[in-house]
Structure 1
């Protein structure tokens, strides 16, 4: 039976492009290193924030290999790479799982196909994940994100059934359903099946419900803050109360990151405040780059993110 990834903070890394929608390799490498130095347990390459569906097969392999190489060259061999490998066919998902292993990933995160939603019955969902994992050279995890699968939402019974596969070792719940998370954690130990909150606004709530940690987009902006939350929560007592204060801030910032433009907005905030990548937040179409009007000081959502950046740069602790 395969071992799940360890508990902690994981980041679905954004992938930086130039104005021609080509890889901005220097920015990608700088981002990977800032995340690693921020203390993340692992990096998810080609999650939804990594625009996986916009990449060719070769680009997917390049992104994973570049991330692994960048980490290893700077002494971060211990930082885990999870690769998003979900595709619209079982056949292609199997290929992506093999490519992920060859490029340096330790785990695969598999999104359920959604082109034919009416065909994705419970039996077919289970069959897809089972067949893809049977052929996978690395352990897989179930990625549940109704927002990018046309509303297709795996319930706790489906995920629990899949958890019995010896090579399926965890799940990322971007549905934000804490009830679902707790139903799973109450039946499955993190040592056998790791259950991660998929959003920063459910981070501490997930920890309270027994999660193994978080895999969340906002970590792209503030890895240290998220790592501090885990540390405070684990210490308990007054520190756990501080973790809840930070959770409130993360809840507002999670909402704000969507309000300033989602993936493009996150890239633009990182570029503006950490000095790498294009300030336009280039993405691949049909996504849109960041809207400058939403990144002005008088925009409340942007101000919330600026406060989070300030806290990230200040290091440990809460704002005064």
Structure 2
């Protein structure tokens, strides 16, 4: 590409969970209900096939189907402005290129690319850089770097590596699910926000990220409380830092409790219980979440707030 692609705009993005029936097949109506509630909650974009979307548990056709279903649901309800980012992580360069092409065809505007983690000793810095550049060269939509050591066998891209990749004209951002604010600030202070969007991948550092120049957040907790996250962003922009810090404290506690419950299954269980759609089924080898076995007082406090906004 001769001209650099534009990064996604500042805002709240949510890696949406997928809902299944008891046979681990798509619950189409629940998926649509969830996408619609997120859009009505004001999210800037929906990440389809992030880690919360169980991407690695789906076939290529299913991955493409969920992107298309999300786009159709948004468009049918006058949310054409809501952006779709598609997770396109594969375990080979060839597969990842195919997933990026599929994402474009299904209606995604950006691709979020996970670094392959099957052979971590072989994933040297030069190989990582070569992988992401080759994918970006081939992708028909701009790509973003997804740094999530938990799901890539501990591979944790440093700010130098991501900064090197940020110079590619078709690589326009990163999601830092490592939660490293130092890394985030090194990137935001080095690469112009007009060219590269840096997002924390956790709500417990949402405000800290904004203070450090982030483009917002791409986090699991907005599956439960999108309006509360939009509220924090508004408070920050208005300079109401004391109120923003108080809300951030609640988000931090709620994010921790949601993770303790067991993020993906936990999100589904909480949404099913408190918002009246979907069942808490996940695809094996993941297991169900038992909300009664955990302390979720702060999470429930956040839900009460969400329902007032």
TM-score (norm 2): 0.98
**1:86 and 2:89 are equivalent in the alignment:** yes
**1:135 and 2:138 are equivalent in the alignment:** yes
Once residues 78 and 163 of structure 2 are traced to their aligned partners in structure 1, the CA distance between those partners, rounded to angstroms, is 37
**Cα distance, 1:292 vs structure 2:** 4.7
Of the three residues 177, 190, 194, the one matched with 1:191 is 194
**1:287 and 2:286 are equivalent in the alignment:** yes
**1:157 and 2:160 are equivalent in the alignment:** yes
Contact 1:84–1:109 (Cα < 8 Å) also in 2: yes
How many residues matched?
306
Aligned to 2:180: 177
Aligned to 2:69: 66
Contact 2:112–2:143 (Cα < 8 Å) also in 1: yes
**1:221 and 2:246 are equivalent in the alignment:** no
**Cα distance, 1:261 vs structure 2:** 2.1
Once residues 168 and 235 of structure 1 are traced to their aligned partners in structure 2, the CA distance between those partners, rounded to angstroms, is 31
TM-score (norm 1): 0.95
> 4+ residue stretches of structure 1 with deviation over 6 A?
none
Once residues 83 and 179 of structure 2 are traced to their aligned partners in structure 1, the CA distance between those partners, rounded to angstroms, is 24
Contact 1:7–1:190 (Cα < 8 Å) also in 2: no
Once residues 9 and 59 of structure 1 are traced to their aligned partners in structure 2, the CA distance between those partners, rounded to angstroms, is 25
> SS state of the match for residue 260, structure 1?
helix
List gaps (5 residues or longer) in structure 1: 316-320
Aligned to 1:318: none
Once residues 56 and 118 of structure 1 are traced to their aligned partners in structure 2, the CA distance between those partners, rounded to angstroms, is 27
Aligned to 2:248: 247
Aligned to 2:258: 257
Aligned-residue Cα RMSD (Å) equals 0.7
CA offset digits 1:275-311 (Å, max 9, x no partner): 0001xx11111111112533xxxx42x2221111100
Once residues 190 and 287 of structure 1 are traced to their aligned partners in structure 2, the CA distance between those partners, rounded to angstroms, is 37
Once residues 274 and 240 of structure 1 are traced to their aligned partners in structure 2, the CA distance between those partners, rounded to angstroms, is 30
List gaps (5 residues or longer) in structure 2: none
Contact 1:282–1:290 (Cα < 8 Å) also in 2: no
1:30-69 superposed matches below 5 A: 30-69=33-72
